[in-house]
A and B are shown apart, each in its own frame.
Chain A
Amino acid sequence: MAKVDYEIPELQEYVEVPELESGTMAHSAPYVAKPEFQEPLGYVGEVQDDWKEKTLDAMGDMLGKYRGLQVFMDSCVKCGSCTDKCHYYLGTKDPLNMPVARQDLMRRVYRRYFTFAGKFFGKLGMPEFVGAKELEREDLDEWFSYYHQCSQCRRCSVFCPYGIDTAEITMAAREILARVGIGQKYSNEIIGKVYKIGNNLGLPGPALEDTLEGLEEDVEDETGVKVLYPLDKKGADILLVTPSADFFAEPHVDGLIGYGKVFHEAGVSWTLSTTASEAANFGMFIGSYENMRKISLRIREAALELGVKRIVFGECGHAWRVAYSFLNTLAGPFDFLDPEYPVPQHILEFTWNEIQKGTLNLDPSRNDDMTLTFHDSCNVARATRMGDEPGGQFTIPRNVIKSVCNNYVDMDPDTIYEKTFCCGGGGGLLTDDLMEIRIKGGMPRMTALNNVIEESGVTHMAAICAICKSQFTKILPYYGMEMDQIVSVHQLVSNALILTGQVDEDDEDTDEEAA
């Protein structure tokens, strides 16, 4: 764990709403993208002299394209309901991390240049009377800072009487900034890699093949059963699209092993694709419809090329949002796939169906060394669904976990389901240059976790998102917990699943790796 020159919040019994402390996070900002990473995404390389015009033009363009943005800009009554709902505010005390204050960074410019009241009082020289402000160059830096202290988790939107979604405003702000020449290095570089190589991590085809062969050998060594992890297999039934972290990082890869075992037992043929070897879609983080669409189209093309009948997504939060809510819009219609199945499907929907059908031989006692809790990933919880009923995104993962584990405890009801707290690393913040805000923003979730650890003996927290898993792996140690206390849901499934013909190694005790 690296040394840090800021305070790590101390975990209390519950999260107190802090008093305001201005400017505590004013220094936080990600690296700016270099021109070479701006241009492939269709943005200008650097800030030009006409930044002001460009900003206002871009803003006008976004307002005309997104009803949400327009309505949200107009409707806020400053009721304050959202002010204590953001994990970044709770963890940093910085007033500009209150959702409405974050929105106001853009809203005050909107009011000044796009509303009668703002123009009128602006001419009188007192725009601040109606919450308006002249646009200055420093404002863009402030935007860059605070719109990268929002993980687009939508928690604020749940509590706003008009559903004002700060995530939408953050996305629009980032798109405007990128168009002016202030893009975020982390997200833009990753998108560049997706275009060039096919996934966020820049893993080329041969490396993927190696990895998957390695997995097949591992599973065979352990179980004696040959489970296939196919790549680019034409004519397979299912195309699995999963976050690239699943190919090697812990605990992600244990999830991928689990998906393969479930498919194997279900008796379906499946494949991964080199060109669509990434479920993540950072186009959403930067608020760019065009880039989000371009990234999504790879999946359509892969599905057509491989001639699959279904598309299934692996465990990832924002990826599931783009898949569930946007894929049909961005890359549809999917009339060439089997209409019997929803497009796309979540791996948990698939696994839960199989569990209900009884095709999986599960022994939950194989997870008896753990007591689990479940972290609802924000995008899954508040921007998607699983199954046919509203709220399936909460029940299906829990049903699966409870089918494969005997010991399960939920965290504080104010921190799960639709009120779930973000891990602190979502929305394009999962980068080392934003470590401080990630650690501090993780505080509310860490508090809830710590409480069930102390009160109910929870040992592990399961998650269904590559970003959550990476973020927790990184921040748990700062809060005095172990990085391997975070597990994949399909890792649990994998543990409990007894493959047809499986021969276990001699000692029955699951020797858990104590890494």
Chain B
Amino acid sequence: MSVAYAILFYIALAILVIGVARRVIMYAKAPAPLKIPTTPAPTTQTGVVMRLFREVVFFESLFKSTKWTWIFGWMFHIGLFAVLARHSRYFNSLMPAEIVGPLKYAAFAMIIGLVGLLIRRFAVDRVRYISSPSDFAMLFLLILIGVSGAMMTFVSHTDITMVTHFFHTLMWPFDGIGQLPGDILVWVHLLLVASLMIIFPVSKLLHAPGVFFSPSRNQVDNPREQRHISDWAKKLEQN
């Protein structure tokens, strides 16, 4: 079974990396024929980097809009980020123990955020109207991942050394794949995570790379100073 999981993770990782890379390349290559930053917009490249930074780290636009979604959404994402960072200990030991310890509470931020978002999706008629089953499914999936993970941290501890060993052998599989502990929670957690990785490049999770390519946020407001023209539009000028 551990070998099956090993294969699953290779496939999931490949799909995630190749899928997202293909999307990113496609976004990067797609022409943006017109200057359409939502103004007032920065007039310099540095300004744009700052704008994107505020957007990615603080969800600036969402903050302007609805405080509840912002609070839950931000809690979830910051929690997710912290949890992901903490997971680095299964692959390397760069993160000092003083940080790894307290960071375990980030899981609560993540779960509370997700549950808040889920309630909002059910309770607010406008949000319910625009939701597809997949939008609910995504939240359930993440909540299950969060809860199964937190259970292992706080309720029924699993053999972390074995898990770490398993992932180390995944990084260098030629001496044989390690065994995962026989703990149902580990198996469930890992299965869900692999599904998330597989879904990522074909779902709305593309918002993570998408935000960096959004022309209304990443363009410099300088159309009068600098002529901006795409290749396909240039062709129109030749006749």
Cβ contact within 8 Å between B210 and A74: yes
A480 in the interface, Cβ–Cβ < 8 Å? no
> Which residues on the A side are within 8 Å of B211 (C-beta)?
75, 161-163
A76 (CB) vs chain B CBs: closest residue? B204
Q: Knowing A129-B134, A161-B62 are in contact, say whether A79-B69 is a contact too (CB < 8 A).
A: yes
A362 in the interface, Cβ–Cβ < 8 Å? no
Cβ contact within 8 Å between B214 and A332: no
B59 in the interface, Cβ–Cβ < 8 Å? yes
Q: A309-328: which have CB < 8 Å to B? A: 324-326, 328
Q: Knowing A71-B210, A71-B215, A130-B132 are in contact, say whether A83-B127 is a contact too (CB < 8 A).
A: yes
A79 (CB) vs chain B CBs: closest residue? B69
- Can you offer 27 A-B residue contacts whose CB atoms are under 8 A? A20-B129, A65-B33, A66-B32, A68-B32, A68-B36, A70-B26, A71-B214, A71-B215, A74-B204, A78-B132, A79-B73, A81-B61, A83-B126, A83-B127, A115-B202, A130-B133, A131-B132, A163-B211, A163-B217, A289-B34, A289-B233, A324-B224, A326-B223, A329-B223, A329-B229, A329-B233, A382-B39
Cβ contact within 8 Å between B66 and A80: yes
B65 to chain A, nearest CB (A): 4
Cβ contact within 8 Å between B35 and A326: yes
> Which residues on the B side are within 8 Å of A84 (C-beta)?
126
Q: Knowing A68-B215, A70-B27, A80-B130 are in contact, say whether A75-B227 is a contact too (CB < 8 A).
A: no
A325 to B35: give the CA distance in the assembly, Å.
6
B89 in the interface, Cβ–Cβ < 8 Å? no
Q: B1-58: which have CB < 8 Å to A? A: 23, 26-27, 30-36, 38-43, 55
B82 to chain A, nearest CB (A): 20
Interface string of B117-133 (1 = CB under 8 A from A): 00011001111011111
B153 in the interface, Cβ–Cβ < 8 Å? no
B156 in the interface, Cβ–Cβ < 8 Å? no
B94 in the interface, Cβ–Cβ < 8 Å? no
Cβ contact within 8 Å between A382 and B59: no
A63 to B26: give the CA distance in the assembly, Å.
11
B216 in the interface, Cβ–Cβ < 8 Å? yes
Cβ contact within 8 Å between A78 and B39: no
> Which residues on the A side are within 8 Å of B217 (C-beta)?
162-163
A326 (CB) vs chain B CBs: closest residue? B34
Cβ contact within 8 Å between B223 and A324: yes
Q: Knowing A65-B33, A101-B129, A324-B224 are in contact, say whether A130-B134 is a contact too (CB < 8 A).
A: yes
A303 in the interface, Cβ–Cβ < 8 Å? no
A162 to B73: give the CA distance in the assembly, Å.
14
Interface string of A188-215 (1 = CB under 8 A from B): 0000000000000000000000000000
A42 in the interface, Cβ–Cβ < 8 Å? no
Cβ contact within 8 Å between B134 and A131: yes
> Which residues on the A side are within 8 Å of B55 (C-beta)?
161, 163
Known: A117-B202, A329-B35. 5 other contacts (CB 8 A): A20-B126, A68-B36, A164-B214, A325-B35, A328-B223
Interface string of B184-206 (1 = CB under 8 A from A): 00000000000000000011101
B207 in the interface, Cβ–Cβ < 8 Å? yes
On B, residues with C-beta under 8 Å from A are: 23, 26-27, 30-36, 38-43, 55, 59, 61-62, 64-66, 69, 73, 120-121, 124-127, 129-135, 202-204, 206-207, 210-211, 213-217, 221, 223-230, 232-233, 236
> Which residues on the A side are within 8 Å of B73 (C-beta)?
79
> Which residues on the A side are within 8 Å of B216 (C-beta)?
68, 154, 157, 163-165, 168
Name the 6 nearest CB pairs between A and B, nearest first: A75-B210, A163-B216, A131-B132, A390-B40, A80-B127, A67-B30
Q: Which of B36, B130, B133, B206 contacts A165 (CB 8 A)?
A: B36
A117 to B199: give the CA distance in the assembly, Å.
9
Total interface residues on A, using CB and 8 Å? 72
> Which residues on the A side are within 8 Å of B229 (C-beta)?
329, 332
> Which residues on the A side are within 8 Å of B224 (C-beta)?
324, 328, 342-344
Interface string of A87-107 (1 = CB under 8 A from B): 000000001001011001000
A293 to B233: give the CA distance in the assembly, Å.
10
On A, residues with C-beta under 8 Å from B are: 17, 19-20, 63-68, 70-72, 74-85, 95, 98, 100-101, 104, 115-117, 128-131, 154, 157-165, 168, 289-290, 293, 324-326, 328-329, 332-333, 342-344, 381-385, 388-391, 393-394, 418
Q: Which of A95, A104, A325 contacts B34 (CB 8 A)?
A: A325
A146 to chain B, nearest CB (A): 14
> Which residues on the B side are within 8 Å of A343 (C-beta)?
224
B229 (CB) vs chain A CBs: closest residue? A329
> Which residues on the B side are within 8 Å of A83 (C-beta)?
126-127, 130
> Which residues on the B side are within 8 Å of A72 (C-beta)?
214
A159 to B67: give the CA distance in the assembly, Å.
12
Q: Knowing A159-B62, A390-B43 are in contact, say whether A71-B213 is a contact too (CB < 8 A).
A: yes
> Which residues on the A side are within 8 Å of B120 (C-beta)?
80
Cβ contact within 8 Å between A98 and B129: yes
> Which residues on the A side are within 8 Å of B133 (C-beta)?
128-130
Q: Which of A68, A383, A388 contacts B214 (CB 8 A)?
A: A68
B215 to chain A, nearest CB (A): 5
B226 (CB) vs chain A CBs: closest residue? A328
A101 to B129: give the CA distance in the assembly, Å.
8
A155 to chain B, nearest CB (A): 10
B35 (CB) vs chain A CBs: closest residue? A325
> Which residues on the A side are within 8 Å of B227 (C-beta)?
328-329, 332-333
Cβ contact within 8 Å between A162 and B214: yes
> Which residues on the B side are within 8 Å of A388 (C-beta)?
43
A79 to B207: give the CA distance in the assembly, Å.
11
B210 (CB) vs chain A CBs: closest residue? A75
Cβ contact within 8 Å between B61 and A158: yes
A74 to B32: give the CA distance in the assembly, Å.
16
Cβ contact within 8 Å between A80 and B132: no
Q: Which of A67, A78, A117 contacts B131 (CB 8 A)?
A: A78
A233 to chain B, nearest CB (A): 25
Cβ contact within 8 Å between A65 and B39: no
Cβ contact within 8 Å between A98 and B130: yes
A269 to chain B, nearest CB (A): 23
> Which residues on the A side are within 8 Å of B64 (C-beta)?
158-159
